[in-house]
Amino acid sequence: MSTPIDSKEQDILWLFGERAVWNTVSGFVESGFWAVYVALLIFAIRIQLKKGFRNWTSIVLLLVSVFLFASSTALWTMYVLTLLNQFRGFFQKYPTSDIEGRVAHVNVDKTVLWFPEETLFLLNMIVGDGVVIWRAWVLCGNTRLQKLVYIPIAMMCISFAFVVITLDCLGNDGFGGQSTESSGSKTCQWGEPIAWGISLLTNITSTSIIAIRAWGHHRFLRKTLGSKRQRSQSEKILLILVESGFIYCLFWMSQLILFFPVIFGTAAQRMYSILSGMGDQISGLYPTLIIILVNLQRSMSDDPELLASANFRSGVFSSVHFRTDISSTEGSTTRTDSDKPVELSPQSPARSLSVV
């Protein structure tokens, strides 16, 4: 005959069950995003191999892609192992302990992988910021906007400094109540939230600079070619970069919940479980998406249209050529003499282009 459990043990079992269920949900969410990441990585490597390695930038992009995926895969693997060990610890590992003792052992065992998990997550964050900044730097080449890119560069350096402080604190002082919190001084406790906040500002600033560049490029094409035209490939890529960048910033903002304690059984705890599962993969997935966009339009930074708009903004015109398709007033696209090279010269203003 089984021994009945008291109310205290019932509460412990309920809390453990609630945590186990939502940790499993978090695992499913992270597994889904990891599967998407696998598909994106295969696509990215395929494009990079097809394009070839013409310079060091191509090699670095491949290495960054592999590093981000390997890091995200390690995060996913460690989470799954922690989840499995949670069940093994409760049901098999400590058979002689009572319910309260088993849960206490599980709570200790789950912290074993917290440090490597936090290390990889924060490194992914910094590398991802670097990819976004690099894209802004390249797109703003030959323009006055390029000087503004030094702002997110400085932010990334400050964020990296707080990452180093955080990892040092976690290594020396251990963790607090959750994996994002150190048990050390106030500086240690706020190290990771500050690094995360600066990373968010870095992405917002970099994406805003790209948005300004995209708007300037759009205005240049509209002024020189008119509004009745097909949207160019460079415009499409710039638009995707801006939209995906701000969507990523909104998601990154949602990670704020990870830095506050949550109560099991509440909506906040359920949201915490879902967002934490997404965060480990999104931090590497978005930079990989940028790398894919770059490789789909590798010559984007050397695109004649972008160079023309850059030179137009800076007042420099030196035989810049570009090709475009002009849509007719009826809405149908036809190939005309406008498909021939159009030359911008110091003698002819941009809005009165002579078609050669």
* Other C-beta atoms lying within 10 Å of the C-beta of residue 3: 5
179 assigned to some structural domain: yes
Q: Which two tokens stand for residue 351?
A: 């809005």
208 assigned to some structural domain: yes
287 assigned to some structural domain: yes
Q: What is the pLDDT along the chain (356 residues), one digit of tens a residue?
A: 456 677 888 888 888 888 888 889 999 999 999 999 999 999 988 888 887 777 787 888 889 989 999 999 999 999 999 999 999 998 888 888 888 888 888 888 888 888 899 899 999 999 999 999 998 998 888 888 889 999 999 999 999 999 999 898 888 767 655 555 666 677 788 888 899 999 999 999 999 999 998 888 778 777 877 666 666 677 777 788 888 888 888 888 888 887 777 777 778 888 888 888 888 888 888 888 888 877 776 544 445 555 545 554 444 333 333 333 333 333 344 444 434 444 433 333 333 333 22
6 assigned to some structural domain: no
Please identify which residue in the block is written with the tokens 């078609």. 355
- List all residues 6 or more positions away from 317 whose beta carbon is below 8 Å from its beta carbon: 311, 344, 345, 346, 350
Helices (H), 89-149: 99-109, 114-139
337 assigned to some structural domain: yes
Query: What are the E-state strand segments in the chain?
Result: 320-322, 342-344, 354-355
8 assigned to some structural domain: no
- Does this model's pTM top 0.85? My answer is no
Strand order in the sheet with 342-344: 320-322, 342-344, 354-355
206 assigned to some structural domain: yes
Look up the CATH number of the domain holding residue 160: 1.20.1070
4 assigned to some structural domain: no
| Full domain range(s) for residue 84 | 15-355
Q: Round to whole Å and give the CA distance between 355 and 343.
A: 7
Q: Round to whole Å and give the CA distance between 140 and 306.
A: 9
What is the end-to-end Cα distance of the chain in Å, rounded? 97
Number of structural domains the chain divides into: 1
